[in-house]
Structures are given as C-alpha cells and as structure tokens.
Chains A and B, each alone.
Chain A
Amino acid sequence: MRSMVGFAWMLGVFAAFMVPAPAAMAYNAFVTNEKDNTVSVIDTDKLEVIKTFKVGQRPRGIILSNDAKWLIICTSDENLIQVYDSKTYQLVKTLPSGPDPELLILHPSGNPLYVANEDDNLVTVVDINKGSLITDIPVGVEPEGMGMSPDGTVLVNTSETTNMAHFIDTKTHKTFDNVLVDSRPRVAMFNTAGTQLWVSSEVGGTVTVINPKDRKIIGKVQFEIPGITKEAIQPVGVRITKDGKLAFVALGPANRVAVVDTATLKVIKYLLVGQRVWQMAFTPDGKELLTTNGTSNDVSVIDVPKLKVIKSIRVGRYPWGVVVAPF
C-alpha cells in the first residue's frame, strides 16, 4: 500500500511539473551507428530512442537537406551516399560519391553537396537533385573535414595526412589558399558571422582558429585536463553557438567536451561525457547539444545554458554522426 501511495504521490509531482511549459522542445535527432548499420532516432523531449532503422553499410557522416525532408548519409562501405525520407525512414535514392565517403556538407542554397573522398585525395561535388557528379577538386592526402562559409562562397576541406585546411572557391571549384595546421585535422567549422574558422587537429591535440579573410592564424586552443594524458586529448568535433560566444570541442578518448570562450580561446569548462566523443549537433533552438560517444555506445545530452550534461542515451554500436531536425 505504501508503495502505491508513493507512486500516486510521485504521479502528482510529475503532473505538477508537466503543467508548466516543457523544458525542451521536441525534436528528432538522428544518430548513425557505424557498427550496426542503423540510424537511431532520438526524441529530444523524452530524451529516448523512439525508433531504429536499417541503413547501408558503415554509416558515418549524416546531414539534413535544407528543407529537412531528406537525411543524407555517407554509407562508407558501400562507397555511396544514401538519401532517406526523414519522416518515413524509407530510402529515397542513392547519390554517387567516391570510395569511402565520410563527411559531407551542403551549399547554403541547398545544393550542391560536397563530399570528402578520402581514398582519392579529392573533394567530390554532387548535384543532389539530379543525383549526378558535378566535379572533383584535388586536395591533400585523406580529405576529411568540411566547412562552409555562411555566405556559401568558401568551402574549407581539411586533409588528415597533409595537415592543411584547403580553401576552395565554390564558384570556380579551385583551391585558392592552404593553411598548415597541427597533425591530422578532422573538422572545419565557421562561426555564423563568418569571422572565425575553427579547425581541430586530432593528433596535434589543438584547435587552430583562422581568420577566413586573410587566412592568418588568430590563435590556437590548447587543452589540459588533470589526470588525462596529453595523447588522449584528441579534438575532433567542433560546434559554435549561434551568437558566436562559445565553442564546444569534442576531445575523443579524453571523454570530455571542452567549452571554449571564442574571444579569448581559453577553455572555460570540461564536460564529462561518454567514451571517445567525436561528433556533435545542437538542437535547432540551441539549448541542447548532443554528442556521439563511439566506444560507450551512447549519446550525451548537454544543457547549453547551464553547461551541464543532463542525460546519456544508449544508442547502437559505435555511434558516429548526429544531426537534429527542426521537427
């Protein structure tokens, strides 16, 4: 009886909390599970997986089309890109890519798609409506990270073995500048104002912040965590808040996300998340940040205003990429 009373009491409390507006908006987040060949769909209000669907072999990079109707996924071991309906999870079509596609980015206009093609030292440009290859752009060894300037004029690709950020004119498809960064650059990310480009170096253990106008290095973010070896600090994913004030940097096997002040390039806080954290995505309202933790098979949810980890959600094996839809 006592437990029944307790339960009723708890329900009451729960109901009382339900009356005011919910803390977070409900969105759908999509997480690629590299080892399971699936995508987990997370309800960001309930903070739980509501659906898991099969996709092609070794899904990694995942983005949404501008109208959010399509999920565009690099299925690396099939050497192509799959397009799924973001509501019905049905395969719409496949797009050509070079072998082993990993990360991709859309032009702000919604088309074309730029894919890092690691095996061939190329960035492949694909028309997503026609499903055809527009051109290839030669870059350094093992192209990986893809960043797009907010105005869509400059594409930045990082090459992991050449250790450069290649600046590409999206009109001419030619590289017009190359900036050396520390070892194994993984991700390139512009801030919304287009005044900073952040490039993470996984092996170098730093993030280089570049001024996109003159391609001069503004500074480097260094990380130091008590009790964690220097080798384990491996920056990969970078996300910058819309107001441009804070950057979040996923530190791989250090199992932490660093919160960096973009004005001083100093770390304000380290947030403990799951193991081998790589990619991240904000919810559209910017209130939450989701991280994929590859070796602990979960997604951590960070409350952005509070800078706190509020939940970890079990997904499939080796979660890799994440994107959040505006619905």
Chain B
Amino acid sequence: MAAGVLSKRARIGAMAGLVRAGLAVPMLLALVGPLGPSRAFAQGAPAATAAPEAKQSPAPAPAKGVQTIPILIARELRDEPLPLSLLDLPPADLGIAGAKLAIKDNNTTGRFMNQKFTLDVVEESNPEKLIKDVVAKVDGGAHFILADMSPNTLLKLADALANKEALIINYAAPDDRLREEDCRPHVMHVAPSRAMLADALAQYLIWKKWRRWFLVLGPQEKDKLFADALRRAAKRFGAKIVEERTFKYEGGSRRADGGYEQVQQQIPTFTQSAPDYDVLIVADEGNLFGDYLPYRTWEPRPVAGTSGLVPASWHPAIELWGGTQFQNRFKRMADRTMRPLDYNAWMGVRMIGEAASRTRTNTYRDLVAFMKSPNFEIAAFKGVGLSLRNWNGQLRQPVLVTSPKLLVSVSPQPGFLHQFTVLDTLGVDKPETKCRAYTQ
C-alpha cells in the first residue's frame, strides 16, 4: 500500500472507548479582531467588464475522420481510515463514475462534431509506479490526465510531465499550496481549494450573523490546513474565533457494538467551558470524529465545517439549475448518488469536451490554449458560467453550503462584492496569489 502520510497512522476509528476528550489547552487565536472585509470587496464596483468578444461558431463542417480525444484518470490509492458513518463509505468508483458520465455527455455532443472521447483509468498505491504508468500513457498519446492523488505525488507527476504535452486536471486535492507556492503551468484545479470552501462557509455564517466561532480541529495534517483556511476566512470576513481546541483520538476499528454511550458522555465534556460562541466549527476532513459533535455539544449550538453545515462543490440532493436531470443521469449510470468528487471529475472531463466542441479540434495545444483563454466558460449546474482563474488555474465556481440532506445556500452570499466577479470573493484572489509559474 501507499507509503503516504496517513499510512503511518493506524486505522483510526474513534469508536467507543477510544474517543478521548482532547482537553487541549484552549488556545485563543491571536488578535483576530473585527476586521472589515478585505480590499477586494470594494463597494460600488463596476457591474461588468466590457462584453467579451463574441465567441465565433462557424457552421459545422463535417470532418473527414473522427477526432479522438483520450482522457486518463490517475488515482493514487491511499490507505486512509474510513469515515464514521456507513453512509459516507467511499464507493470504489468514486470520481471515476463522474468522469464516465462526462465522457457520455461529451460523446453525445461529439456525435454532432465528429469527435470521440475515451476514458482510461490507472489506479496504483505506489506513487513511483503510478507516475511511471501515467508517463507511459502520455507517451502513448493521452494528453489529458485527471488526477486524484496526494499533493506530493501530484507535484512529482507534474514535474515528470513538465516537458511533455500533458495537462493535469486536479479534481480531488483541496490543498491551497498546489494553487499557490507549488503551482505548475500545466496543472488546473477543478476541485475547490480549502480557502474557497472556508470562505463560502464564512460568508454564509456572516450573513447569518453567527460571528463567534468555536473551532475544533482534528490532529491530522489536512485538518490543520482546513483550520488555517478557516482562520483566514474569519479574518477576511470579520468573524472571531473565540476558542480553539484540538480533538485527539486513538486508532481503532471504525465500528464496534455499542459506542454511543461513551460518546454521549465525552462530547459534552470536551465542549464545555468555552466562551460564548454562536457556532462550533469543526475541521475533520476524514470524518473521523466530527459527526459526533452535532446534538452533543455542551451548549445548544449548531455545528458547521466538515460536519453539520458543510461547504462543498456538490450535493446529492441539489436540484437547482437543471440539476435534477444531471442527478438522474448519474444515478441511472452509477447506481448511487453523486458525490463532490464525482462532480469535480465530471467537470474536468466536460471542460475538455467544451474546449473540443468550441475549437473543433483535438489538438492538445489548441485545446489548452482555449481553456486558458478569457473566452473559456463552462455551464455546470451552478447557475452561472464557470471559468479558470488566469493566475493559478483554479476553476472559479459558486460553492454550495449544505446540510446532510439538503442545500442550505450557495456562496458567494449577497453583499460580498468584487471588482471583477463575485466568484473571486471565494479563495485566493489575484492580488494575493503566490503563484508565479502559471502565468509564465
């Protein structure tokens, strides 16, 4: 199995008897303060930039031969502990099913364009072998790679492909560093970054006037990174983290007979004696303890973050903007509901399809140039057109704010303004970016 960060940990279950109240020393975040919105949110900004040049669509000229566009999914199989809830167990085809649906959609359009899209999947737990396999496929003619891998593996793959005709579309890793200091010119990101997710949640909480946050984070590296994004969001939008605690747990099996009795005792204890707060925010990306928090806190307060009210790129119950048909198509094909990773992968493959039908070509260079151009826009059941940030290759998109069963809201929230597009109130904006490689 992969020698990833997580494999060093035992499978962590946080079940009965193993949950131990962290009782970490309450660490008040230094000087968050009631800061106003950042300079990006200038009031009364001009409504829109000049209308973009009309996208030309000459009448279709039937091509002689069919243009084929092979797409590759590369997945690093990681030994990660399973989430608490039976409902959250990852299906084997997570992400892949979304890509398959997009291939079908692309081919329906392709019928009219004389274009054909194919999907190939490489799954591997050894990062070196995975990279070797992907490089071989690229040399064999696959130029578009949808990646689901750890940040380190993704960077190694990007460097291995640096001098080849290869575009990596990251549909899984939310790490901001991949879009910032470690950005690469041939890597695009359809998965929202942690900063985008945290900002989306923060905007909704500010809209709700729930400004005092009690932050509980898990001990894993990714939990710390999400907590960083939440602290940044609090500062940007004027929330205050009144208390911060780390929830510690020991490894164990995910399930055991019984279990709720001890949790029922431990969570109230863990959350007591906090200063007054409006909402408890949990950073537990693996869903290893966060779902224990709702309804068990010492004070009767809502829970948000990675449990309770959750920001996400997709939700299996969203039906807005024609989403119903999209959900139905997916369910018929995959025999399960669509998860954010499926949606992200769908979007990655659709972007390639969109570029191919607009440019009427399967030439790598033309497709990538079009995707990076200001004319590129994709409709993806979010009510507005999505496009790529030209400073780091991140797809700008509205982020859903969801409860377990329904959509609660969609961010950006009303009142958060931006000089160019309100979608750039989510995540790292152009003046703040540390990415230099992408624009070179």
Contact = CB atoms under 8 A, between A and B. Distances in A.
B384 A203 contact: yes
Contacts of A118: 322, 325
The residue among A164, A180, A206, A220 with the most chain B CB atoms within 10 A of its own CB is A180
A288 to B, nearest CB: 30
Interface stretch (B54-62, B259-267, B286-294, B365-373): B54-62
Contact of B422 (A142, A214, A229): A229
A228 B45 CA distance: 10
Interface string A188-209: 0000000000000011111010
Interface stretch (B92-100, B104-112, B141-149, B232-240): B104-112
Contacts of B109: 140-141, 159, 161-164
Nearest to A205: B385
A142 B49 CA distance: 30
B108 A224 contact: no
A183 B385 contact: yes
Given A177-B59, A217-B57, A121 B379 contact: no
A188 to B, nearest CB: 15
B108 A162 contact: yes
A183 B377 contact: yes
A217 B56 CA distance: 9
A181 B326 CA distance: 20
Contacts of B378: 183
A184 B379 contact: yes
Contacts of B422: 229, 231
Contact of A203 (B328, B357, B377): B377
A141 B333 CA distance: 15
Nearest to B417: A229
A160 interface: yes
Given A119-B328, A162-B108, A164-B109, A227 B47 contact: yes
B112 A99 contact: no
B108 A231 contact: no
Contact of A179 (B51, B57, B377): B57
A230 interface: yes
Contacts of A204: 55, 377, 379, 385
A100 B325 contact: yes
B105 A141 contact: yes
Interface in A172-188: 175, 177-184
Nearest to A100: B325
A214 B57 contact: no
Contacts of B325: 100, 118-119, 142
Contact of B47 (A121, A142, A202, A228): A228
A22 interface: no
Given A140-B112, A161-B105, A231-B384, A203 B379 contact: yes
A225 interface: yes
Contact of A231 (B54, B57, B112, B421): B421
A6 interface: no
Nearest to A220: B54
Contact of A183 (B51, B108, B379): B379
Interface in B232-285: none
Nearest to B325: A118
A231 B385 contact: yes
A35 interface: no
Contact of A160 (B47, B60, B111, B322): B322
The residue among B47, B111, B384 with the most chain A CB atoms within 10 A of its own CB is B384
Interface string B16-57: 000000000000000000000000000000011101001111
Nearest to A161: B105
Contacts of A119: 325, 328-329
B375 to A, nearest CB: 10
A159 to B, nearest CB: 8
A163 B380 CA distance: 12
A326 B383 CA distance: 35
B434 interface: no
B358 interface: yes
A2 interface: no
B323 to A, nearest CB: 11
Interface in B94-128: 105, 108-109, 111-112
A181 B421 contact: no
Nearest to A214: B59
Contacts of A227: 47
A54 interface: no
A314 interface: no
The residue among B112, B358, B422 with the most chain A CB atoms within 10 A of its own CB is B112
A255 B68 CA distance: 43
Contacts of A214: 59
B85 interface: no
B390 interface: no
A226 interface: yes
Contact of A142 (B60, B322, B358): B322
A138 B110 CA distance: 13
Contact of B51 (A159, A166, A224, A228): A224
Nearest to B357: A180
Interface in B203-218: none
B51 to A, nearest CB: 4
Given A183-B377, A203-B385, A162 B59 contact: no
Contacts of B201: none
B271 to A, nearest CB: 38
A289 to B, nearest CB: 25
12 contacts: A99-B328, A138-B111, A142-B325, A160-B322, A161-B109, A163-B354, A202-B379, A203-B385, A204-B377, A214-B59, A224-B48, A229-B47
Interface of A: 99-100, 118-119, 121, 138, 140-142, 159-164, 166, 175, 177-184, 202-206, 208, 214-217, 219-220, 222, 224-231, 233-234
The 7 closest A-B pairs by CB, nearest first: A230-B48, A180-B57, A203-B379, A162-B109, A183-B379, A231-B384, A184-B379
Given A204-B377, A217-B56, 13 more contacts: A161-B109, A163-B354, A175-B112, A180-B357, A217-B57, A220-B54, A228-B47, A229-B421, A230-B47, A231-B385, A231-B421, A231-B422, A233-B48
